[in-house]
A and B are shown apart, each in its own frame.
Chain A
Amino acid sequence: MSFAQTARMLSRKRAIFSLVLILLATSAAFSVTSSIFLSVENTASGMLGESGGTIVVAQGDSRTPFTGTLPLALASDLGSVAGVQVISPEVLAPSTLSNQPVMVLGVDPERFMQIQSPAILEGSPITPNDTDQAMVGETLAKEMNLHPGSEITLVGGVRATIAQLTVKAVFSTGTPLDNEVVAPLWVGDWLRGLSYGTVSILRVEVGAHQNPSQVALQVQRIIKNATGASAGGGPSPIEAYLPIASSLTSLAGLDIQASPDASSAFFSRSLGLSQEVVWLVSALVFLSMSVAIVCVIQEAVFRSRNELGILRTIGMSSRRLSWNLVAVATSVSFVVSVAGLLVGWALLTLVAEFSPIQLAFYTVDPRSALLLASLVSVSVVTVTGFAAAAFSSLRFTQPLTVYAMTLPYQESDPGAISE
C-alpha cells in the first residue's frame, strides 16, 4: 500500500476536505496575524529614522522619544566622535493637519538631506532660508492630495499655535518618514512648544565600516564629559538662522542616551510591542487552531477506519500504516499552508486598501512583513500537521487481537486462530 493509495483512501471519504479547510484557515490566520503585528513592530522600530548605520541620541529619562529634549549645541560636541559622519538635529512635533494626526519633523534642511537622502518626487527640497515652507512625505501627500504649492495649516498638538506653510516638495524614503511633514527646525520648535536651540533628538550617521553600537558607546562617553562648547564638529548650519542668545555651558543633570534602536526599545518598553510578543500572540492563535487540526485528522482517520482496519487485517504493519498517514497529512499540510499564504496575502491587500492600519501618526502596510511571517507559517503548519497525524496514528499501535470463537455447532473444535 503506497502513499498515494493512502491519500486516495482518505480523500474518498471526503474527510480530507475538512482537513484542507481547517489548515487553509489556520495558515491564512497565522500569516495574517503575524504579518500585521510584525509590520506594526517594524514601523514602530523605524519611527525615529533608525537604520543600519544610524543611531539616535535622545533624552534617556523622557517618557517617549517625542517628549524628550536636548540642547542643539550638543551636536557640536558629538562631531568630534570618531566614526560620526553626519549629525542631524530634529524636533518631533505631534500636530494635526485637517483634523488628522500628523508628525511634523523640524530639521536642519542641509543635514537632513545628507543623512536621509530622500528621493524628491515633486518640487525642490527646502533650504535653510525657507522660513515658511515644508516638504511632505509621499504617503501623506497621496492621502491628503498635497503637491508643491499647496498651502497647509498645521495645528500644534502640544502647544496652542498654528503654522501656515507652503508645500515645496514631495519626497520618498521608503520609511515611516513618508507619513511626515518635514519643515525647518524652528517650525518644529513652534509646534512642539520648545525654545529655539532645543531639539527632540539627534540622529547620527556612522561611517560605513563603523559598528553603530561601538559609536553609540563612544557618544555616551563624550556626552558624560561634554561641556557644550564646540569640540571640532562645528555648529549646525541652521544655527546661523536661529535666534539663540547663548550657547550651552554644561550638560550636567541631563540623562542622555545614544542607541541604534531607540524607538524599538521605547515601544517594547511602553507598549510591549516586541517581536517576542508578536510571536507569542501568533502562537496563541495557532494553539487554538491546532486543536482543530488534531480534530479533523482524527475525524478523517475515523471515517476511513474500515479501510484502514482491513489493511491491518491483511497484514500491513501498524508502523507502515502510521507512516503512510503521517506522510499524507504532512504533505497536505505543506501544500495547503502555501495556499493559505495566498489567502492571507489577499486578505492583507484588502485591509491595506480599504481599512489601512494606523499606528500613531503612521500608516502601516500590513504586507511589509509577510515574507518572514510566511516562512514561519508554512513551517509551523506543516510541523503541526505532522504532529497531529502522529498523535492520531497512535490508535494503530494497539495490537491486533483476534479472539478464538466457540461456534455452537462445533464446540469440540475451537479452532487454532491466534494472532
Chain B
Amino acid sequence: MLSVAVKLLLRQIDRTAITILMLVPVVALLISSNMVASGYLQQAAVPVNLVQPSSAYVAYQPGSATPSSGSVSYDAFVRIQGSGVSSAVPLLSFPSIVSDGARSANASVLGTNTTTFTETRNSIVSGEVAENGSQADAGAIIAKVLGIKVGDNLTVDAFSRTQTLTVVGILNSTDQSDTGLILPLSSSWALWPQTANKISYVEFVATDQGAISSISKNMTVIREQGIGQIALSFGGQTASLLASWTLILLALSAAAAFAAASRVATEVSQEYKTVRALGARLSAAQALVFYELLLVSGASVLIGVSAGIVSTSILATLLKALDGLSLSPSIDVVQMVVLGTASFLLILAAGSFSLLWLPWKVGEGGDAP
C-alpha cells in the first residue's frame, strides 16, 4: 500500500510539491521562533547569573511601613551583632524641625554609632565626627539648604522637646543621611528620653545565609541592593513574552496545518474514488490516503525544520550585518526533535480528521460522522 501511495504522489509530482511547499513555512516558522526564543533566553540568563548583589542588609520591625518608622529594643542590635554577621550598625531615626535661627526645615535625626557609621558609608567628613552630648554632624544637603557651617548652633525640635546642638562636622555620604543630622545614639537617648534604649533599624553585612535566616525569624530583613531582583524580573518578562508568542504561533500553526491537511485529503480524493471504483474496501482506500498524508507530512516536516534552521541563521547574520542587531539563535537538538515530531503529529492528526469526512466529501457517505 505504501509503494502505491509513493507512486501516486510521484505521478502527481506538481501537486505534491505545492502541498509540501504550503506546509514548509508553517513548520519553518515554528522552528525559527523556537531558535530565537532559546537564544534570547540564554542571553537573558547570562546577566542574571553574573549578578552578585551586595551583602548589606537592613533589619527592622515587622509590619512597619519603612525601616525608619519601626521601633525595636537595642537588644535586637546586640542579638544581630552576635549572630555571626560581619558588621552591624544600629540606627535610630525620627523626624524633627531643624532651625539655625533664620531658616528652618524638616529633617531626620539619625542616632547611631557615628564612628562605625562614617567608616561603613565612606563618608567625606568636613570637620569632626560628633562624639558627645550636644555635638552633631549635619548631612551635606541639609547643610547646603540651611547654610549650616561647622561651629553653628542649631535648635532641633522633636517629640515636643527642643534641644540645641553644635555642628562639629559636615558629612557627605551620598545617601539619605545627607538630608539629616547625625549624632551619637547615646546623645539621642539622653536628649529625647522618649527614644531611650530604642532603635529604628539595624544595618548589617552578612554572607552566612544561616545568620540571615536566623535574623529574619524576628525581624523584617531586606537586601540593600536590588540588582538581583531586577535581573530576575527582566528575565521573567522576556520569558513570559516569548512564551505567549510561542503559544500564539502554535495556535496559528494548528489552524494552518488543519487547513493544509484538509486540502491534501481533498486533493487525493480522486485516487480515493478510483480505488473505490475498482472495488477496494473503504478501509483500504482510507489507508491509501493516510499513507499519502504520512509521506507528505514527513517530507514537509523534514524540509521545514531544515528551512527553519537555515533561514534563521541567514536572517540573524543579515540583521547583524545590516542593523548591528546581535541576535544569537540557538539550536537545541532535543527541542528541534520535539517540535518536528509535534508538527508531524499535528499535521497527521489534522489530516486524519479530514480523512474521516472523505467519503462524504466525494459524495458516497450517508450522514456525516
> What residues of chain A have their CB less than 8 Å away from a CB belonging to chain B?
18, 21-22, 25-26, 29, 32-33, 94-96, 99-101, 129, 131-132, 150-153, 155-164, 186-187, 189-190, 193-196, 240-243, 268-269, 272, 274, 276-277, 284-285, 287-289, 291-296, 298-299, 302-303, 351, 355, 357-360
Set of chain A residues within 8 Å of B172, measured between Cβ atoms: 196, 243
Set of chain B residues within 8 Å of A190, measured between Cβ atoms: 174-176, 178
Asked if A155 and B222 sit within 8 Å, CB to CB, the answer is yes
Please, could you name 21 A-B residue pairs with CB atoms under 8 Å apart, sorted by A? Answer: A18-B259, A22-B259, A99-B226, A131-B106, A155-B224, A155-B225, A157-B225, A158-B227, A160-B56, A161-B175, A194-B174, A241-B141, A284-B32, A292-B259, A294-B22, A295-B262, A296-B263, A299-B262, A302-B267, A358-B233, A359-B237
Asked if A189 and B174 sit within 8 Å, CB to CB, the answer is yes
A101-B230, A157-B230 in contact; A186/B255 too (CB < 8 A)?
Answer: no
Stretch binding the partner chain, chosen from B129-137, B154-162, B211-219, B317-325: B317-325
Asked if A151 and B29 sit within 8 Å, CB to CB, the answer is no
Contact of A151 among B66, B107, B145, B175 (CB under 8 A): B66
Query: What's the least CB distance linking B137 to chain A, in Å?
Result: 13
Query: What's the least CB distance linking B307 to chain A, in Å?
Result: 12
Set of chain B residues within 8 Å of A186, measured between Cβ atoms: 141, 178-179
Please, which residue of chain A has its CB at the minimum distance from the CB of B24?
A291
Please, which residue of chain B has its CB at the minimum distance from the CB of A21?
B255
Give bound CA distance, A175 to B230, whole Å.
Answer: 22
A18-B262, A272-B327 in contact; A162/B67 too (CB < 8 A)?
Answer: yes
Set of chain A residues within 8 Å of B266, measured between Cβ atoms: 298-299, 302-303
Contact of A303 among B230, B233, B361 (CB under 8 A): B361
Asked if A358 and B237 sit within 8 Å, CB to CB, the answer is yes
Stretch binding the partner chain, chosen from B183-191, B246-254, B271-279: B246-254
Query: What's the least CB distance linking A95 to chain B, in Å?
Result: 6
Give bound CA distance, A161 to B224, whole Å.
Answer: 5
Set of chain B residues within 8 Å of A99, measured between Cβ atoms: 226, 229
The 6 closest A-B pairs by CB, nearest first: A96-B226, A160-B54, A243-B140, A272-B325, A292-B259, A131-B179
Set of chain A residues within 8 Å of B1, measured between Cβ atoms: none
Contact of B248 among A32, A272, A277 (CB under 8 A): A32
Please, which residue of chain A has its CB at the minimum distance from the CB of B234?
A360
Asked if B143 and A243 sit within 8 Å, CB to CB, the answer is yes
Contact of A155 among B22, B223, B245, B256 (CB under 8 A): B223
Given contacts A155-B226, A291-B259, 9 further A-B contacts (CB under 8 A): A18-B259, A129-B105, A153-B65, A161-B175, A162-B224, A241-B145, A276-B323, A285-B252, A292-B260
Asked if A157 and B105 sit within 8 Å, CB to CB, the answer is no
Asked if A285 and B249 sit within 8 Å, CB to CB, the answer is yes
B-side binding surface: helix, strand, loop or mixed?
helix
Give bound CA distance, A129 to B140, whole Å.
Answer: 14
Give bound CA distance, A240 to B145, whole Å.
Answer: 8
Q: Is B241 in contact with chain A by the CB < 8 A criterion?
A: yes
Please, which residue of chain B has its CB at the minimum distance from the CB of A192?
B174
Q: Is B26 in contact with chain A by the CB < 8 A criterion?
A: yes
Asked if B226 and A95 sit within 8 Å, CB to CB, the answer is yes
Set of chain B residues within 8 Å of A151, measured between Cβ atoms: 65-66, 69
Give bound CA distance, A288 to B54, whole Å.
Answer: 48
B interface, size bucket = 35 or more
Asked if A287 and B176 sit within 8 Å, CB to CB, the answer is no
Give bound CA distance, A357 to B245, whole Å.
Answer: 12
Query: What's the least CB distance linking A9 to chain B, in Å?
Result: 17
Q: Is B99 in contact with chain A by the CB < 8 A criterion?
A: no
Q: Is B59 in contact with chain A by the CB < 8 A criterion?
A: no
Q: Which of A152, A189, A291 has the most CB of B within 10 A?
A: A291
Set of chain A residues within 8 Å of B109, measured between Cβ atoms: none
Asked if B229 and A131 sit within 8 Å, CB to CB, the answer is no
Contact of A272 among B230, B253, B319 (CB under 8 A): B319
Set of chain A residues within 8 Å of B249, measured between Cβ atoms: 285, 288
> What residues of chain B have their CB less than 8 Å away from a CB belonging to chain A?
22-23, 25-26, 29, 32, 53-54, 56, 58, 65-69, 105-108, 140-145, 170, 172, 174-176, 178-179, 222-227, 229-230, 233-234, 237, 240-241, 244-245, 248-249, 251-253, 255-256, 258-260, 262-263, 266-267, 319, 323-327, 361
A29-B248, A131-B106 in contact; A295/B22 too (CB < 8 A)?
Answer: yes
Q: Which of B105, B227, B229 has the most CB of A within 10 A?
A: B227
Set of chain A residues within 8 Å of B65, measured between Cβ atoms: 150-151, 153
Contact of A157 among B56, B227, B244, B327 (CB under 8 A): B227
Please, which residue of chain A has its CB at the minimum distance from the CB of B68?
A164
A129-B145, A131-B105, A243-B140 in contact; A25/B252 too (CB < 8 A)?
Answer: yes
Give bound CA distance, A32 to B249, whole Å.
Answer: 12
Q: Which of A131, A268, A360 has the most CB of B within 10 A?
A: A131
Query: What's the least CB distance linking B260 to chain A, in Å?
Result: 5
Set of chain A residues within 8 Å of B29, measured between Cβ atoms: 284-285, 287-288
Contact of A299 among B66, B144, B227, B259 (CB under 8 A): B259
Set of chain A residues within 8 Å of B142, measured between Cβ atoms: 131
Give bound CA distance, A359 to B237, whole Å.
Answer: 7
Asked if A288 and B144 sit within 8 Å, CB to CB, the answer is no
Give bound CA distance, A355 to B179, whole Å.
Answer: 40
Asked if A156 and B225 sit within 8 Å, CB to CB, the answer is yes
A131-B145, A157-B227, A272-B325 in contact; A152/B66 too (CB < 8 A)?
Answer: yes
Please, which residue of chain B has its CB at the minimum distance from the CB of A358?
B237
Query: What's the least CB distance linking A128 to chain B, in Å?
Result: 9
Contact of A162 among B140, B170, B176, B241 (CB under 8 A): B176
Asked if A289 and B256 sit within 8 Å, CB to CB, the answer is yes
Contact of B144 among A29, A241, A287, A357 (CB under 8 A): A241
Asked if A357 and B241 sit within 8 Å, CB to CB, the answer is yes
Q: Which of A132, A162, A293, A296 has the most CB of B within 10 A?
A: A162
Asked if A164 and B140 sit within 8 Å, CB to CB, the answer is no
Please, which residue of chain B has its CB at the minimum distance from the CB of A285?
B252
Give bound CA distance, A303 to B237, whole Å.
Answer: 47
Set of chain B residues within 8 Å of A131, measured between Cβ atoms: 105-107, 141-142, 145, 179
Asked if A291 and B22 sit within 8 Å, CB to CB, the answer is yes
Set of chain A residues within 8 Å of B108, measured between Cβ atoms: 132
Please, which residue of chain B has its CB at the minimum distance from the CB of A156?
B225
Contact of A288 among B69, B170, B252 (CB under 8 A): B252
Please, which residue of chain B has its CB at the minimum distance from the CB of A129?
B145
Please, which residue of chain A has its CB at the minimum distance from the CB of B23?
A291
Give bound CA distance, A131 to B244, whole Å.
Answer: 43
Set of chain B residues within 8 Å of A195, measured between Cβ atoms: 174
Set of chain A residues within 8 Å of B224, measured between Cβ atoms: 155-156, 160-162
Give bound CA distance, A288 to B22, whole Å.
Answer: 8
Query: What's the least CB distance linking B13 to chain A, in Å?
Result: 18
Asked if B255 and A292 sit within 8 Å, CB to CB, the answer is yes
